[in-house]
Every structure is written in structure tokens, then in C-alpha cells.
């Protein structure tokens, strides 16, 4: 077994009295300490208005802190709800725009089909009995 550390023994004459766990050591022996009779604490004077205000300050700071935290949480939740609402409206409007663009493309294709010269010529000849103009039918007016 190896000794780790040595400590010199403290001389007892340097410390005439020591207290350890309710026991008092005098240079020659250990004896129990006798608790002194309890002394009534001095009566405090009634607090002034300033002292009352100072005591209330930490409470006000705590209330203000939690009020700010709650207000921040409410604003964050409200902001999140507004963003979600606006995102839903944007999605709805984007869908309407896409449907309107598709309808516009269909209407332009239908317009091109209906205004084709061959179709108009065929309708004029079959329904109205028209014929194409010949060079002798053209009269120039000056």
C-alpha cells in the first residue's frame, strides 16, 4: 500500500477552542456546547412607501416579462395564421388565373377556326348561294 500524502498535525495550543458538530474542544477535552438562550430579534419598523415600492418592483418586472412573452406568442401565432390565410388565397387566385388562361387559349383557337377564310367561303356558297366574283363582275368607280 502506498501513502498518498502526509499532513503535519496541527498544534492544539494555537487553537484553544474549536467547535465541531455541536461539540466544543478545549485544549484538554471535548465537551458539548450549550446553546445560548434565544434572543428575540428586534422589532422592525413599519416599511415606508419607498420600501413597499421597492419590494413590489420584482413582482412588476416578472409580470411585465411574462406579459411581453405572452404578447409575443400571440403576435407570432396571429402572424402565422395571416400567412397561412394569404397563402391559401394566393393558391386559389393562381388556380383561377390558370383556368382563365386555358379558357382564353380555347376561345382564341375557336375564333381562328370560325374566322378561317375557307369556312366563310363554304358557308357563303352553301347557305347564301353566293358565287365567287369573275373579272367581268368587277366594276371600278371613279
| pLDDT of the residue at 93 | 98
Distance separating alpha carbons of residues 115 and 132, to the nearest angstrom:
18
What values do phi and psi take at 38, rounded to 5? Answer: -65, 135
The three three-digit cell numbers of residue 1, written as one number: 500500500
What values do phi and psi take at 77, rounded to 5? Answer: -65, -45
| pLDDT of the residue at 10 | 58
* Burial tier of 24 (Cβ tally within 10 Å: 0-12, 13-18, 19+): middle
| pLDDT of the residue at 32 | 57
Mean pLDDT for back-to-back runs of 10 residues, the chain (142 residues): 60 52 57 62 80 78 94 98 98 98 97 94 91 82 84
Do 55 and 47 touch, CB atoms closer than 8 A? Answer: yes
Amino acid at each position: 500500500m502506498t501513502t498518498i500524502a502526509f499532513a503535519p498535525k496541527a498544534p492544539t495550543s494555537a487553537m484553544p477552542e474549536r467547535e465541531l458538530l455541536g461539540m466544543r474542544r478545549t485544549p484538554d477535552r471535548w465537551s458539548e456546547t450549550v446553546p445560548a438562550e434565544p434572543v428575540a430579534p428586534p422589532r422592525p419598523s413599519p416599511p415606508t412607501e419607498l420600501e413597499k415600492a421597492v419590494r413590489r418592483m420584482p413582482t412588476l418586472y416578472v409580470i411585465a416579462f411574462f406579459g411581453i412573452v405572452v404578447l409575443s406568442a400571440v403576435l407570432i401565432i396571429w402572424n402565422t395564421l395571416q400567412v397561412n390565410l394569404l397563402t391559401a388565397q394566393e393558391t386559389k387566385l393562381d388556380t383561377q388565373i390558370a383556368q382563365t388562361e386555358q379558357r382564353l387559349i380555347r376561345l382564341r383557337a375557336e375564333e381562328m377556326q370560325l374566322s378561317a377564310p375557307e369556312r366563310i367561303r363554304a358557308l357563303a356558297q352553301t347557305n347564301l348561294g353566293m358565287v365567287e366574283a369573275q373579272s367581268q363582275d368587277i366594276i371600278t368607280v371613279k
